[in-house]
Amino acid sequence: MAPSLIDTAIASIPSKGNGDADWNPKARDLVRRLGSEVNEYPPDKPYNVCLDTVPVTIERLPYYPKANSRLPDAGTARVNIAASEESPEGTQEDDWAERHKHMTVVQQHCSYWDKDGDGIIWPQDTFRGVRAWGWNILLAAFATFIINVNLSYPTCPSYLPDPCFRIYIANVHKDKHGSDSMSFDNEGRFRPQMFEDFFAKYDRNNKGGLDIYDLARGLKGQRMTFDFFGWSAAFLEWLATYLLLWPEDGILRKEDVRRVLDGSIFQYKADQYADKMAKQGRLRKAVKYSKSGKPVTATVVAVSGKDESEQNEDLVFFARLSETVDRVAHFVALALNIA
């Protein structure tokens, strides 16, 4: 049974304890199977990753390479590919890794908004980019304000702030903050170990991703002392990721999150939304932003009459509205307990 709103709220409240292995089925099963030998886990390695005297080390088990691991040297940061156990060579779709090998991974993450390739992201670039995902005007304006106002100055080439709040991609590594998954290092490289760690620690039942309850635990577990900016930034980043991916089953898949980090999923989501609008005959919204930045009207599928799905559109709308309200309530619970 999925965790309730109360469970999610409680999960994000700062704890004065030293961990609780019982909350995580993986950790609970490990203790049940190994008993005191848990201190020697993993058994086939010359090192150990947990101690029964420090429960938090059992509650949050890190990633370690198995014998048949496809991810070599996970602890070594990759400068231009977002490598994971499932995708050790980074994103191969649309030849992404090859086409972006001249950029660090954090620069790749931002490249979707730099349609003209000048290395500068204007506020209007941010606005258009998120609007292309189907976000409404208010949400897009809020996202633009948060992103450009907060992230512009560290990237500026001079000591004076940019009056237009532009983000300079060459210096975007300076926008790194704490209290997140720590998947990027201070130079913009991607750290597979930290990425794998986040999912190994907080995917509590090996479902291949994170639900809102897992994210609540993750946000709490990654907090750094008095890092108020980092706490807020991490929350807003995960909220934006959830809104972008909007998983039907409520689970953020690991590979989808990895593609968010290297930016390869952004254009895919824009195209996906444009195709959806085109099939519905909604020409005004059926706009694809090409790699050159020029708007291209998507092909419209002619529809004669209403099919069964269209006849039930109102019912589907209200069902999704109810689901949206429930998910937003969970995120509000996180926000109220994030400090």
Q: pTM surpassing 0.75?
A: yes
pLDDT at 324: 62
| 39-48 mean pLDDT | 94
Instruction: Please give the Cα distance from 200 to 209 (Å, whole number).
Output: 10
The residue to which tokens 């913009």 are assigned: 188
Amino acid at 285: K
Q: What is the DSSP string of 263-290?
A: THHHHHHHHHHHHHHHHTT-TTT-EEE-
pLDDT at 305: 43
- How do residues 119-170 score in pLDDT, each as one tens digit? 999 999 999 999 999 999 999 999 999 999 999 999 999 999 999 999 999 9
No. of H helices and E strands in the chain?
A: 14, 6
pLDDT confidence bin for 233, thresholds 50/70/90: very high
pLDDT at 21: 74
| 88-110 mean pLDDT | 97
- How do residues 52-82 score in pLDDT, each as one tens digit? 999 999 999 999 999 899 999 999 999 999 9
pLDDT at 318: 47
Alpha helices by DSSP H, 156-226: 192-202, 212-221
Q: Which residues contact 151 (CB under 8 A, 6 or more apart)?
A: 167, 172, 175
| 234-239 mean pLDDT | 97
Q: What percent of the chain lies above the pLDDT cut of 70? A: 78
Any idea where the domains of the chain sit in the sequence?
A: 5-16+61-267, 269-320
- How do residues 276-315 score in pLDDT, each as one tens digit? 888 887 766 665 565 555 555 544 444 434 444 443 444 4
